[in-house]
Structure 1
Amino acid sequence: MGAASLVALLRYSDVSAWWGYLQQPYLWRVVRFSLWQALLSSGISLLIAVPVASCLMHRRFVGRALLLQLFSVSMVVPTIVAILGLVVVYGRTGWLHQVFGVNVPLYGLTGILLAHVFFNMPLAVRLLLQGYDLIPAGQWRQASQLGFSRWAAFRWIEWHYIKKALPGAFVLIFMLCFSSFAVVLSLGGGPKSSTLEVAIYQALRFEFDLDKASFLALLQVLICTLFAVLVYRLAPVNRQDASVLGQANYSVRDSTGARSADGLALLSVFVLVIPPFLAIFDPIFSKVFLQTLQSFALWQAVWVSLKIALPAAFVSLLLGVCFSVLARFCMDRAYLSRLPAKIEHLGNMILMVPGLVIATGLFLFLRDLGWGLQSSYWIVVWVNAVMALPFVLRALMPVMYQQETRFRNLYLSLGVRSWSRWCLEWSLVRAGVAQALGYALLLSLGDMGVIALFGSQGLVSLPLYLFQLIGSYRLEEGACVAVVLMSLCLVLFYLSSRFIGGASHVKH
């Protein structure tokens, strides 16, 4: 899909003009900044995520389940809403300035890093916890019997599995940050803090320069591909252990140092993640909130957002299930055993192609067929579905692999196939399916990239409506719209968990 859209865009481009772009100093400044902020964001997110994941693995405390649910939501919270929360906390007149008198340079690299860590640190924690799930219970039992300290357990047991999960997490977060659009557009603060994705948007939206847009898109794909290939070539293989049927809680020797380290890890979470969430809901007590709820434009935007998010989420889930089933089919055959990892990587590669490029290429292709602007809605739906696919695969692949490893021989001996197999596994995989659908719903609901390019008078979603309010300096109304958007996200995520994942999934 990404390749086809890029080819459609290249058809309308003059390749001879590309040499001129290579000689522009502005281009290389944008490339350097894109790489620098993506590397910093990925490194900081993982540096914080490792001790937080270890703390959540070993500690059981009041609010732990709620914190994990919050991490799930913060990974896919609408970007423009999170940015508004960050402004309330770290802005010139924000909470941090009012309480401590501290001014944070929010517009520029600092603000971009704060926003990326807010989004990606919880994502990294969830990915690392999946790595912890691969540790056989026997290793924890033996560590407990030998009296391992937390550091010894981390060194001899945890790190062996964490280091296998880190490369995949690093590549995913790097590509998300490298192709960041709404964060840089809102908090960049000017041309000095521009990324390739923003440059592509400017080339398409304001100049409609297909030559420049196709060149920048190809450059971004090339950089991301080289980076991903390099990391995956050096990364160790992360395999599912068939003995992992459920983690037993075997405690290791505690110490003051371990408690202090866990306290600092949790403090970083409460400083970086919790305040922006609280700030988002602050306007609910204002008089403007009730007035905003009476606006027809608000509910029209809600309806448009739901019209986009619901079909996009189900299409993305269907694509994710197809990828997972295909990968699982290859696991059962020795001559195809290398393909499952390749299939998963292929699903992640869609992040290399900018969503704006996919949308523009698809638009040009449909225009050649005579469908033109009336296809804008379906373009937005399809691109949102495709861009959510990496998150859907992250939720689906581990549970699907686990069932394949556990029960493959039993299925083969009993002749259980296709639909019968799915019915037997549903109770075991439904939590992963619910999480995948929830991710796709929230990502599609909060999209501000494709809708910013194709949005029109009849196609204004909640994020675009919010961005328009902020752009016209109606900040109080914008804050109230952010509350509505965030509330809608929480409700949809809960409904997905409750009715697909089941009651037990909601509790845990």
Structure 2
Amino acid sequence: MKHFLWQAPTWLGALIYLGGVFAALVALLLQATPSDWGLSLTQSYLWRLIQFSFTQALLSALLSIVLAIPVISALYHNQFLGRRWLLNLFAVSIVVPTIVAILGIVIVYGRQGWFTSLFGFHFPLYGLGGILLAHVFFNLPLVVRLGLQVYGLIPDGQWRLATQLGLNRWQAFRVIEWPYLRRSLPGTFLLVFLLCFSSFAVVLSLGGGPKSSTLEVAIYQALRFEFDLSKASFLALLQVSICLALGGFVFRYIQPLQQDASLYRGAPQLRRRKRDFVVDLGSLMLAAVWIVPPFVAVLTPIWSAEFLVALASPGLWQATLVSLQVAIPSGLLSLMMALSLVSLARGFLYLGCSRVMRYLEQSANLVLMLPGLVLATGLFLLLRHTGGGINNAYWVVVWVNAVMALPFVVRAIAPAMLQQQQRYGHLYEQYAILGWIRFKLEWSAIRKALAQGLAYAVLLSLGDLGVVALFGSQGLETLPLYLYRLIGSYRVEQGSSVAVVLVLLCVALFFLITRCVGGRDVTN
């Protein structure tokens, strides 16, 4: 294993990841002028940005947590027709392209949307209300799935004892469920807060003006419209400082779950009351009404004549080709970096360096504290100083998308690879089985995890709008950027057709990757 640690391929992916992050941060530090920082900090506009960024992230995280808790309990305690379908829909909503979900929300809650037509009441979509609506759409399913994993860690003996004592649902929640949830909720809350604090596409599309702008959008405007590099660097460093402070609290004080729990575990038999049934039904209906309509709204244009007209547009297929040229290399690069980090982690675990192993695992989560737009800004400044500039925008987009998907890929592949290390690591070391030979021996056991990680990375890159919006031009226009421009020019019907194509492309790629790489029996 010592020889394995010093093999160049093992370190290559980690160096590409950590070296790129370090270079981006150094470029930001070199560009920023400290003499302007004091002046910037005295501007009321900056403090309004910070205040709104904190406010919308705090409210989004609170709403997501509060609404998710009864949904988690209802899904865990009830087995019903459509439960697995609802859980799979929650999984899809986590990785669905952001701009597609935004379009669905606009169709449902916009001025001429379904909500207005049905109730005769216009929901104020553009502003804080729309941002909260979209953030809960994305983060409620995430909190539910994380919460169900926490429930899966509750020992069966506690449920058997609760059944013998005749506890009802509320008593069981207070005595058994809440202590487990209470330990995990701070980390979940801060994770959702960080995701919302660094949100870009949602705020850019639904912000409605300067009053509802965030630091992330201000960085984009400083580079894209003002080309004020010093201002963009200052805002990026300010955002990084805030996110690192919050993220450091997460990884310093919140203990991660140590085992993988099933989302489909059977429900315990507790004493049920009519009140419990009403609360469960109401919670599940609220979650379904919040999540399902935007998906339905996006898919309705497939039956219209406008869909066929949109398919004949050359711009659509050019954007599709560019999206594939970005998403597939980005997914492969993300998988390579994840394999490198996890391989190093299990190598140090074998040597007894468990602390180094944990640091390597947690390094993948570093990007949760470094927004993609910040990394892209730093790399753009670095390339500009070296003479590359906008000509290397493609590689910047590929690398940043790969890095932003890294936490999801590591989470997907780490359990399977660490399990192989625990079972057969000593045999591999004893017989000096290293490198490609070891990978081939482990392939059948880890291929499903690799397929899931690769699929997540490709889909997340395919739906990215933030980084490509910064560098987007006629030569680098992906489907999300093409869709955003259609919506911005009020061509919503044509945009809906493009959204259908993007969703179908995501489904097709997910199916192909999981079947071709993971085998026939791979599941979501």
Q: Deviations over 1:199-244 (max 9, x none)?
A: 0001111111111111111111111111122344442453338xx8
Per the alignment, residue 412 of structure 1 pairs with 426
1:340–1:44 distance in 2 versus 1, CA, 3 Å: farther
How many Å apart are 1:160 and its aligned residue?
3.8
**Counterpart Cα distance in 1 of 2:312 and 2:256:** 54
- What is the one-letter code of the residue matched to 2:496? A
SS at match of 1:434: helix
Aligned residue in 1 for 2:15: none
What is the percentage of aligned positions where both structures have the same residue?
Answer: 55
2:129 equivalent to 1:100: no
CA distance in 1, matches of 2:267, 2:489: 56
Q: Within 2, Cα distance between the matches of 1:356 and 1:155?
A: 42
1:252 is paired with a residue whose SS is: coil
- Name stretches of at least 5 consecutive residues in structure 1 with no aligned partner: none
Question: SS at 1:273's partner residue?
Answer: helix
2:339 & 2:157 partners in 1: Cα distance?
A: 32
Compared with structure 1, are the counterparts of its residues 433 and 168 closer, same or farther at alpha carbon in structure 2 (3 Å cutoff)?
farther
Contact 1:150–1:252 (CA under 8 A) maintained in structure 2: no
Measured in 2, the distance between the counterparts of 1:67 and 1:245 equals 15
| Corresponding residue for residue 452 of structure 2 | 435
Separation in 1, partners of 2:443, 2:70: 33
CA contact (8 A) 1:469 1:478 kept: yes
Deviations 1:294-330 (A, max 9, x none): 1111001000001101110111122222223333334
1:214 match: 233
1:164-243 aligned at under 5 Å gives the runs: 164-236=183-255, 238-240=257-259
SS at 1:105's partner residue?
coil
For residues 47 and 285 of structure 2, the distance between their equivalents in structure 1, rounded to whole angstroms, comes to 38
Aligned residue type for 1:229: G
TM-score when scaled to structure 2? Answer: 0.88
Change (3 A) 1:245 1:126: closer
Cα deviation 1:263-310 (Å, max 9, x = unaligned): 122112111100000010121222111111011110010000011011
The residue identity in structure 2 corresponding to 1:259 is F
Question: What is the rounded CA distance, in whole Å, between the counterparts of 1:447 and 1:15 in structure 2?
Answer: 32
Aligned to 1:482: 499
| 1:274 aligned partner | 292
What is the CA–CA distance in structure 1 between the aligned matches of 2:241 and 2:75, rounded to whole Å? 37
Equivalent-residue separation in structure 2 for 1:505 and 1:138 (angstroms): 31
What is the CA distance between 1:470 and its match in structure 2? 1.7
Equivalent in 73, 76, 81 of residue 62 of structure 1: 81
SS of equivalent to 2:522: helix
Residue 269 and residue 200 in structure 1: after superposition, are their counterparts in 2 closer, same or farther (change >3 A)?
A: same
CA contact (8 A) 2:150 2:180 kept: yes
Change in CA separation of 1:55 and 1:501 when aligned onto 2, cut-off 3 Å: farther
Structure 2 residue aligned with 1:260: 278
Going from structure 1 to structure 2, the CA distance change for 1:229 and 1:9 (only over 3 Å counts) comes to closer
Over 3 Å counting, the alpha-carbon distance change for 1:228 and 1:283 in structure 2 is same
Cα deviation, residue 366, structure 1: 3.0
Range with bigger deviation, 246-255 or 18-27 = 246-255
In structure 2, C-alpha distance between the alignment counterparts of 1:413 and 1:344, rounded to whole Å = 24
Higher mean displacement: 438-447 or 415-424: 415-424
Residue in structure 2 matching 1:52, options 47, 71, 85: 71
Question: 2-side partners of 1:379 and 1:88: how far apart?
Answer: 33
- Work out the CA distance in 2 between the residues paired with 1:385 and 1:219: 24
TM-score of the two chains, using structure 1 as the length reference: 0.91
Q: Residues 451 and 295 (structure 1 numbering): CA distance in 2 closer, same or farther, change over 3 Å? A: same
102, 113, 128: which one aligns with 1:109: 128
Q: What SS is found at the alignment partner of 2:80?
A: coil
Is contact 2:23-2:382 (8 Å) kept? no
Report the number of matched residues: 501
Letter of the structure 2 residue corresponding to residue 374 of structure 1? N
Q: Give the one of 427, 451, 465 matched to 2:468.
A: 451
Q: Is the Cα contact below 8 Å between 2:350 and 2:425 reproduced in 1?
A: no
Q: Name the counterpart of 1:466.
A: 483
Letter in 2 for 1:348: N
The whole-number CA distance in structure 2 between the counterparts of 1:47 and 1:431 is: 34
- Between the aligned partners of 1:287 and 1:47, the Cα distance in structure 2 is 42
Structure 2 Cα separation of the partners of residues 139 and 383 of structure 1: 45
Deviation at 1:147, TM superposition (A): 4.5
The 3-state SS of whatever aligns with 2:81 is coil
Q: Work out which of the residue numbers 316, 320, 325 in structure 1 matches 2:343.
A: 325
Distance 1:357 1:71 in 2: 28
Post-superposition offset of 1:143: 4.4
Q: Partner of 1:311 in structure 2?
A: 329
Q: Which moved more, 1:431-440 or 1:376-385?
A: 431-440
8 Å contact kept, 1:384–1:443: yes
Shift of the alpha carbon at 1:485? 0.9
Report the secondary structure of 1:75's partner residue. helix
| Change in CA separation of 1:153 and 1:342 when aligned onto 2, cut-off 3 Å | farther
What code does the residue aligned with 2:207 have? Answer: G
Please tell me whether residue 89 in structure 1 is matched to residue 108 in structure 2: yes
Residue 40 (str. 1) matches residue 75 (str. 2): no
Deviation, structure 1 residue 374 = 2.6
Deviation track 1:100-128 (CA, whole Å, cap 9, x = no partner) reads: 22221111111001101111111122222
Q: CA RMSD in A?
A: 2.6
* Alpha-carbon offset, residue 454 of structure 1: 1.0
Q: Distance in 1 between matches of 2:174 and 2:347?
A: 36
1:252–1:107 CA distance, 2 compared to 1 (3 A): same
Question: Does structure 2 retain, via aligned residues, the 8 Å contact 1:137–1:248?
Answer: no
Q: Which amino acid aligns with 1:408?
A: Q
Partner of 2:317: 299
Residues 289 and 136 of structure 1: is their aligned pair in 2 closer, same or farther, counting only changes over 3 Å? same
Question: SS in structure 1 opposite 2:32?
Answer: coil
Q: CA deviation at 1:145?
A: 5.1
Does the CA-based 8 Å contact 2:79-2:266 persist in structure 1? no
Which of residues 349, 356, 378 is equivalent to 2:395?
Answer: 378
Change in CA separation of 1:132 and 1:423 when aligned onto 2, cut-off 3 Å: farther
